Amino acid sequence: MISSTTCINSFRLARHYATSTAVKYTAFGTPNQVLKVVQENVNDNVNGDEVLVDMLHAPINPVDFNLAQGTYAFQPQLPAIAGSEGVGKVVKVGSNVTGLKPNDFVIPVISSKVAGTWRTKAVFSEKQLFKAPADIPAEALATVSINPTTAYRLLNDFEKLKAGDVIIQNAANSMVGVSVIQIAKARGIKTINVVRNTGDIDDVVDHLKKLGGDIVVTEDYVRTQAFQRLVADLPRPKLALNAVGGSSATELARNVADNGTLVTYGGMSREPVTIPTSHLIFRNVNVRGFWLNNWFETHSAAERQAMFDDIFDLIRNKHLKVWVEKHKFSEFSSAFARSQESGKFRKVVLDLQL
């Protein structure tokens, strides 16, 4: 009986299932403890609108920590496969799939659910996949759907910016921050970039200036008269981008132009956004928030396409560079540890087929 059962299972596996290596969590907690590398079966016999994908590359983003901790704005259904963005290649498509074929590059774009990109094979529905061009390097495709898209929307959706306008942002050396600098530069928009005064501050300033940042200053410097002299000849920033909160956000509010907008898209300091009343009433500063998930949920496929087309063009024209360091998926633990080190300019990307 035992051998017979084994035989039947083997037969089914051979016909319908492929093995996928995945990083999975079955409970929320400290990411180092709850994230486990597991082997699991993936249905190889796709039906309907299903698409079987070999995942190629996937970055480790800060949001992946919060999701595993259970502290993000939504909690994934458990058990969950980790990883919120990445790129894959289509292996097989179901009979109802019309827009994708084998060997197409695809990016999972799934709002309010975790894509689960840290795995070697996955089955998605066609509508969860965005078809990506073949002429963009896979590591750029893997890292394009969260940070450059956020930067793109921040620059597009709140103020009508034209060449010569100025924006100010904190967390300027974050992955969104460096995308903002580059996209703004490509449009002739000047950037005032605020960074934390960490040990490697000279390297950070140098890096951001090379990317096209017009002014790069520390959080402390923004509070000084010297900073006001430095920016005295520039138009006041129409747009301020905040990923920090606390006093850093307050300084952005002080510096944004009358009738300008302060957009919060992150809260690294874990402190609230505090705005002196006078800036709201007498200077008509608008204080807004941005969440990419919400944008994806409320915009059409055509609007997504237009955004990705623009971003792919920026990458093709070398206006937008992604800075990654690749790590073998088979060395997940060390890659994960590396992703938690501060002071990197490069995003840690898992090479899922190695």
Binding site for a second copy (CB under 8 A): 73, 245, 250, 264-267, 272-291, 294
**What minimum distance in Å lies between the beta carbon of 267 and a second copy?**
3
Q: Which is nearer to a second copy, 221 or 291 (CB)?
A: 291
**What minimum distance in Å lies between the beta carbon of 282 and a second copy?**
4
Q: CA–CA distance from 60 to each of 102, 222, 320, 336, 339 (Å)?
A: 26, 31, 20, 7, 7
186 alpha-carbon distance from chain centroid: 20
- Please name which of 142, 228, 206, 215 lies closest in space to residue 184, comparing C-alpha atoms: 215
Say which of 17, 25, 72, 152 is annotated catalytic: 72
Q: What SS3 state is found at 107? A: strand
Q: Which is nearer to a second copy, 207 or 279 (CB)?
A: 279
**What minimum distance in Å lies between the beta carbon of 281 and a second copy?**
4
Structure tokens at 227: 């900073």
**What minimum distance in Å lies between the beta carbon of 297 and a second copy?**
11
By the 8 A CB rule, do 82 and 119 touch? no
Is 265 a catalytic site residue? no
Reply yes or no: is the peptide bond before residue 76 cis, omega within 30 of 0: no
Amino acid at site 171: A
**What minimum distance in Å lies between the beta carbon of 77 and a second copy?**
18
Q: Which is nearer to a second copy, 160 or 270 (CB)?
A: 270
H helix intervals, 171-215: 175-186, 201-211
Q: What SS3 state is found at 18? A: strand
d(CA 46, CA 182): 40
Q: Which is nearer to a second copy, 48 or 289 (CB)?
A: 289
Q: Which is nearer to a second copy, 30 or 274 (CB)?
A: 274
Q: Which residues are designated catalytic?
A: 72
